[in-house]
Amino acid sequence: MAAVPALVVLFALAGLGSARFFAVPTLTRDFAAGGGSALRTSSFRVDGLKCRDTAEKAFEHLDGLQGLGRAEAFASRNEIRLTYDPSVTGPQAIREALEGPEFDAATGEIWFGRFRVIEIDGKPLPVGTGSASSGAP
Amino acid sequence: MRRTRFLFQAALVAAAAGAGLAYSRGWLLGSVEKYCPFGGLETAYAFVTNQRFTCAAGELNLALFVALLGLTFVARKAFCAWVCPVGTVSEWLGLLGERLFRAGRKEASGAPLRALEPPRSADRVLRWLRLPVLAIVLYFTYKTGELVFRGYDPYYVLFSFHGHDVRGWSYLLVAVLLAAAVAVPMAWCRYLCPLGLALWPFSAVGRLRLRRDAETCTSCRACDRACPHAILVSTAGEVRSGECTLCLACADACPAGETLTLRLKALKP
């Protein structure tokens, strides 16, 4: 009879473990990549990135930013992987763009704080170092 | 085994509630729907055809769903009795209903009816309600690319702590479903749960089966009374029903020692 709970645990661990081995983006977008120097890829863990809709919103935040190549959003991991030209932009500018204000054309309202970057390339950002407090414009 | 299962269930309900609360308070980034294998089924078609996930569903949902199919093929619907927090809540409410509505009613065959258990003929028909539920959920989820039934999903409504898409009517609906679980044992699981139906074909051919030793069986029907899914164990040589969740309540209730035992049925070449 003990086989039943043992099997349940075994298959649960198999399910939880195997999810680590594949990653499929929720949304992908190719921005107009800057040529020139070699492109670099960084990953951003973003609080507020929950689903396809929020991934689209996050990409809208990045729309005006120069030097971006491919962007991949993984909603289930709250992660955005971005390829960019390091001679044009960098992780801090990307973070500021993600955390920046957002204009809602439907209501005419400006939203703040939809997204918060909490990790860049696996390194947690200290609390209270948001783009607003970093002195960014 | 009853205690082991209770501990499993209680731990998972606590984990789901803890994860839901932590997410709602902003302490955790992933919501409880991340751990729902039904999300894997909802997004499976989009994933296979377009290599994309639906809304907030992701790799973990899909991996858990595939693992669940594997588990079901071996250990029937053990997920329902040992893991699913909605199944646990339904079962606990059913026990409450057992005390409130114990009627001592019997069906025509003489088998006891639990609480407000519908007659067996009605039960068989009602179980097919899960088919339109499953079809509607999968169709509209794929069509819209959104998890549009969150507000109707008892797991999400109960454990997301007022998550996205949960409205006032969601609580009303879940309250009705919970009330139904008090009146009719496992009402949601037996008559409406789309995941339960999706697992049914795999469970029906599941390898781990309960066998009844007719030599030692006293035909007291304690097993029938104990089964939360109203399976007639007392007349089966081997429990083949795809609805068996291997909760082992029948074996626990059996007064005749080793009459009900688990056997792993080998695959025929």
Contact yes or no for B181/B24 (Cβ under 8 A): no
| pLDDT tens, residue by residue, B111-166 | 555 557 788 889 999 999 999 999 999 999 988 888 888 889 999 999 999 988 88
**Range with the poorest average pLDDT among A31-40, B50-59, B125-134, B243-252:** A31-40
What is the predicted pLDDT for the residue at A135?
A: 36
Interchain proximity B164–A7, CB inside 8 Å: no
Q: What is the ipTM of this complex?
A: 0.85
Between residues B88 and B109, the one the model is more confident about: B88
Query: Is the pLDDT score of A46 beyond 80?
Result: yes
State which H helix or E strand residue A11 sits in: helix A3-18
Half-sphere exposure of B94 (CA within 13 A, CB side): 22
The type of residue at B47 is F
Minimum mean pLDDT range among B82-91, B94-103, B131-140:
B94-103
- Chain B residue numbers touching A74 (CB-CB < 8 A): 58
List Cβ neighbours of B154 (8 Å cut-off, separation of 6 or more). B86, B89, B174, B177, B178, B188
| Integer angstrom CA distances of residue B131 from A77, B62, B155, B191, B198 | 32, 21, 19, 9, 9
Would you call B78 an interface residue with chain A, using a CB distance cutoff of 8 Å?
Answer: yes
Same domain, B28 and B108: yes
Q: Once rounded to an integer, what is the mean pLDDT over residues B70-80?
A: 95
Query: What residue type is assigned to position B158 of the chain?
Result: L
- For residue B82, the chain A residues in CB contact (below 8 A) are 4-5, 8
8 A C-beta contact, residue A37 and residue A69: no
Min Cα separation B219/chain A (Å): 22
Is B78 a domain residue?
Answer: yes
- What is the average pLDDT across B61-71? 95
Residues 186-205 of B with CB under 8 A from A: none
Backbone angles phi, psi at A27, to 5 degrees: -150, 140
Distances B10 to A6, A77, B70, B81, B91 between C-alpha atoms, Å: 17, 27, 24, 12, 12
Residue of A9, A11, A26, A47 to mutate, interface with B, max B Cβ within 10 Å = A11
- What CATH number should be reported for the domain holding residue A97? 3.30.70.100
Tell me the residue type at A82: L
User: What string of H, E and C letters represents the secondary structure of B196-217?
Assistant: HHHHHHHHHCCCEEEEECCCCC
The CATH number for B258's domain is 3.30.70.20
Per-residue pLDDT, averaged over A58-64, amounts to 90
Distance between CA atoms of B184 and B113, rounded to whole angstroms? 10
Within-domain flag for B268? no
| 8 Å CB contact of A5 and B51 | no
Residue A6 lies in a domain: no
Of B148, B182, B201, the residue that ends a domain is B201
Task: Give me the domain span that covers residue B253.
Answer: 208-263
Chain centroid offset of residue B5 CA: 14
pTM of this prediction?
0.85
- Report the 10 Å Cβ neighbour count for A66: 12
Residues B116 and B226 grouped into a single domain:
no
Q: What is the per-residue pLDDT for A137?
A: 33
Residue A72 forms part of a structural domain: yes
Burial of B91 (0-12, 13-18, 19+ CB in 10 A): buried
Total domains, chain B: 2
The conformation of residue A44, written as its DSSP 8-state character, comes to E
Give me the mean pLDDT over the B30-35 stretch: 87
Task: Tell me the residue range of the domain where A29 lies.
Answer: 23-124
Asked if residue B162 and residue B231 are part of one domain, the reply reads no
Lookup result for tokens 């994860």? B19
